[in-house]
Amino acid sequence: MSDNYDNGHIVPECSQIIYNGFQRYNKNFHRITDRAHIRFIERDWKGHQQDIADRIELYEKSASRIAESVRKLLEGHTQDQELWSEIRTFLGERLENIPDSAFIKTFFNSITRRVFESVGGTVGYNPNLEFVFSSMDGRTEKLGSLTLRRYPYWGSLKTLFKKNLEEINFGAKYFNIDSSVEAIADKISNFCHKNITGNDEFIRFEFIESLFYQSARAYLVGRIIKRHCIIPIVIAFKNTDAGITHDGVFMSEEEVSIVFGYTRSYYFADPSSVEAAVHFLSSILPDKPVDELFTVLGRVRQGKNERYRTFAKHLNTTDDKFVHADGDKGLVMLVFNLPSYNLVFKVIRDQFGFPKTISRQGVIDKYQLVSKHDRAGRLIDTQAFFKIEFPADRFSDELIEELLTKAKNSVELKGNKLIFKHIYAERYVRPLNLYIKEVSKEDAELAILDYGQALKDLAQTNIFPGDLLLKNFGVTHHKRVVFYDYDEVALITECNFRAIPEANNDNDEMRAGTWYHVSDNDIFPEEHLKFLAMNKDLRSLFMEVHNELLTVEYWRNIKARQLAGEVSAVIPYSRSAL
């Protein structure tokens, strides 16, 4: 740094620009989030879908704008690492005990990565330039910053929930509040009778003050404090023509875990502290990864940071090697995983196998489309990472050779480090084509039926998977079928669903290819049958229950409804919770 550069002045000024930039971003984040309440009351599901995309795009726009302001301020000193270390320390000292300060630190890291991009960028984490921390620090203190509604139990569940529902300010009338209160009380009593041994009395009920909005449902999230245990409780509400009514009560850890799962769209909620809300959710979902909780609450960058840190810590305490992931090799992605960890990593190949014609940018665009769309519990949340590194000696010889020869645009080897310029990470699920061969006949049948339902659920949200092969779908540990191969995904409104034309003559019938013109967006539902690589019994079951998926009329009807502005709510939870 030159002697005439006013370090004492520039450090606080740059820190303030970044801090104020985050505050503006956060204000806009809350503004979009708060609209969810109005969307719910007005049943404006289409507007809610747009808010999902707007809120996702907000972070990138905000970080890029502030990075440009910082570049102008620092002029020729933008890559001065000593200066940035001082800025990080100065800002960090002023974030002590500020609620959700981890988000500001993550925002700071995003700024530094953009500023240093012109000189090759930051690979992995640079502790001299970035905050290296965990949002799970200070658990007890942070829990105290969360505003809760607390209801002591005085002997009557109905009285307790009558008060609880009356205090929830939906801004619209209930259809039948007494009926909802009775149903909720009965579900709690029956659950505890079946699942809690002994006479363990209720002490109190605690609910996060903010409602959690997602698609066409609002959720009340809390926990039941009993003398000897804590039970999660989530109550779903829907807004009908007749008024607001409850739609489900979830109390098992498995049910609540699905509600906050990695295939769900991000919630719109405004708790007094997001970090504290994550700690609260961790208290009722101890097996749920923290990164997924941050992500499903809409704090995607924080979720990415937690995912990377948690995985890096696991990598440092294990010795197994990365290997090719189970399942058929992809034509577009090279997929691998660490057997001891529940993640898979996907790298775009340099060249795609036949018959793929999409470009590299086209693949990236498809994944971005999914990130901004309603996932309806059927699309895995996939996060893109840039310039991260793993030790090369943790990769199998076969895998490292393929990465360096088939994905040179995304991977390079420096010393003992494999540097991934662009890589996707997502939760591991068992490929459906493998799953149905490994499980009982009953479980295989349930999976094939759910595969058909997954196609219908995606259609209701204007998504056509494109490639319907079973290998592109997976089964979660909750035995739910989800889709994870996005390079051919398309909006149904952009597809042209056609019936296969009749042949004009015998010569047409004998041709190796089609005798009719096919455009890129043409879809022939009758051909879907060839994607159903399953045994005769499973295929017969699929045809019996989901035969309409092979008809052009079904898809044209879905498309017409989407074009007409209809938005069908897909409820990604079991009807047994109702």
Residues 198 and 270 in one domain: yes
Position 5 pLDDT exceeds 60 = no
- pTM, two decimal places: 0.90
* Mean of pLDDT values over 401-406: 96
Q: Determine, yes or no, domain membership for 246.
A: yes
pLDDT for 3: 45
How many Cβ atoms from other residues are within 10 Å of residue 242's Cβ?
A: 10
Residues in the chain: 578
Tell me which DSSP letter residue 169 carries. -
Alpha helices in 94-209 (DSSP H): 101-115, 139-143, 157-167, 177-195
Residues 48 and 92 in one domain: yes
pLDDT for 448: 97
Q: Determine, yes or no, domain membership for 143.
A: no
Share of the chain above pLDDT 90, in %: 74
527: domain CATH number is 1.10.510
CA distance 165 to 178: 10
HEC sequence for 463-500: EECCCCCHHHEEECCCCCEEECCCCCCEEHHHCEECCC
CA distance 478 to 454: 14
Q: Determine, yes or no, domain membership for 502.
A: yes
Tell how strand 473-475 and strand 481-483 pair up: antiparallel
Helix (H, G, I), strand (E, B) or coil at 147: coil
Residues 473 and 490 in one domain: yes
Q: Mind listing the pLDDT tens digit for each residue in 346-387?
A: 999 999 998 899 999 999 999 999 998 888 889 999 999 998
Q: First vs last Cα of the chain: how many Å apart?
A: 65
Residues 329 and 279 in one domain: no
Which of 425, 453, 484 finishes a domain?
Answer: 425
Share of the chain above pLDDT 70, in %: 92
**Residue 512 confidence class, pLDDT cut points 50, 70, 90:** low
CA distance 29 to 54: 9
Give the number of C-alpha atoms closer than 13 A to the C-alpha of residue 478, restricted to the C-beta side.
21
Residues 291 and 346 in one domain: no
Tell me the pLDDT of the chain averaged across its residues: 90
Q: Determine, yes or no, domain membership for 309.
A: no
- Looking at per-residue confidence, does 529 or 62 come out higher? 62
Q: Determine, yes or no, domain membership for 307.
A: no
Tell me which DSSP letter residue 120 carries. T
Residues 33 and 83 in one domain: yes
How many Cβ atoms from other residues are within 10 Å of residue 520's Cβ?
A: 8
Lowest mean pLDDT among 24-33, 93-102, 242-251, 484-493: 93-102
CA distance 84 to 90: 10
**Residue 4 confidence class, pLDDT cut points 50, 70, 90:** very low
Residues 476 and 529 in one domain: yes
Q: Determine, yes or no, domain membership for 60.
A: yes
DSSP 326-380: SSSPPSSEEEEE-TTSSEEEEEE-SSPPTT----HHHHHHHHHHHHTS--TTTB-
Most confident among 40-44, 219-223, 572-576 (mean pLDDT): 219-223
Tell how strand 383-385 and strand 202-208 pair up: unpaired
How many Cβ atoms from other residues are within 10 Å of residue 442's Cβ?
A: 8
Residues 445 and 520 in one domain: yes
List of residues 6+ apart from 22 with CB closer than 8 A: 62, 66, 103, 104, 107, 108
Q: Mind listing the pLDDT tens digit for each residue in 274-322?
A: 999 999 999 999 999 999 999 999 999 999 999 998 999 999 999 999 9
For residue 149, give the H/E element and its range.
strand 148-152
* Mean of pLDDT values over 472-495: 95
Contact predicate 248/236, CB 8 Å: yes
CA distance 105 to 22: 10
Rg (CA), the chain: 26
CA distance 481 to 432: 8
* Mean of pLDDT values over 198-224: 93
CA distance 471 to 501: 29
The one-letter amino acid at 571:
I
Q: Which of 51, 374, 381, 450 is catalytic?
A: 381
pLDDT for 118: 63
Which of 405, 425, 445 finishes a domain?
Answer: 425
Number of domains in the chain: 4
Q: Per the structure block, which two tokens stand in for 146?
A: 């969360």
List of residues 6+ apart from 72 with CB closer than 8 A: none
pLDDT for 570: 80
CA distance 196 to 222: 18
Residues 282 and 339 in one domain: no
Phi-psi domain of 315 (left: phi exceeds 0; alpha: psi -120 through 50; beta: other): alpha
Phi-psi domain of 149 (left: phi exceeds 0; alpha: psi -120 through 50; beta: other): beta
Contact predicate 272/99, CB 8 Å: yes
Residues 435 and 571 in one domain: yes
381 is catalytic: yes
Position 518 pLDDT exceeds 70 = yes
Contact predicate 297/278, CB 8 Å: yes
Q: Mind listing the pLDDT tens digit for each residue in 111-163?
A: 998 888 765 556 556 777 888 766 555 544 556 689 999 999 999 999 999 99
How many Cβ atoms from other residues are within 10 Å of residue 150's Cβ?
A: 10
Q: Determine, yes or no, domain membership for 305.
A: no
Contact predicate 249/233, CB 8 Å: yes
Which of 245, 270, 299 finishes a domain?
Answer: 299
Q: Per the structure block, which two tokens stand in for 353?
A: 């196998």
Tell me what percent of the chain is helix, strand and coil, each rounded to the nearest 5: 50, 15, 35
DSSP 70-89: HHHHHGGGTT-HHHHHHHHH
Q: Determine, yes or no, domain membership for 112.
A: yes
Residues 268 and 377 in one domain: no
Tell how strand 522-523 and strand 496-497 pair up: parallel
Task: Give the residue numbers spanning the domain of 409.
Answer: 315-425
List of residues 6+ apart from 3 with CB closer than 8 A: none
How many Cβ atoms from other residues are within 10 Å of residue 377's Cβ?
A: 25
CA distance 279 to 164: 23
Task: Judge if the upstream peptide bond of residue 355 is cis by omega within 30 degrees of 0.
Answer: yes
Position 165 pLDDT exceeds 70 = yes
pLDDT for 116: 85
Residues 273 and 169 in one domain: yes
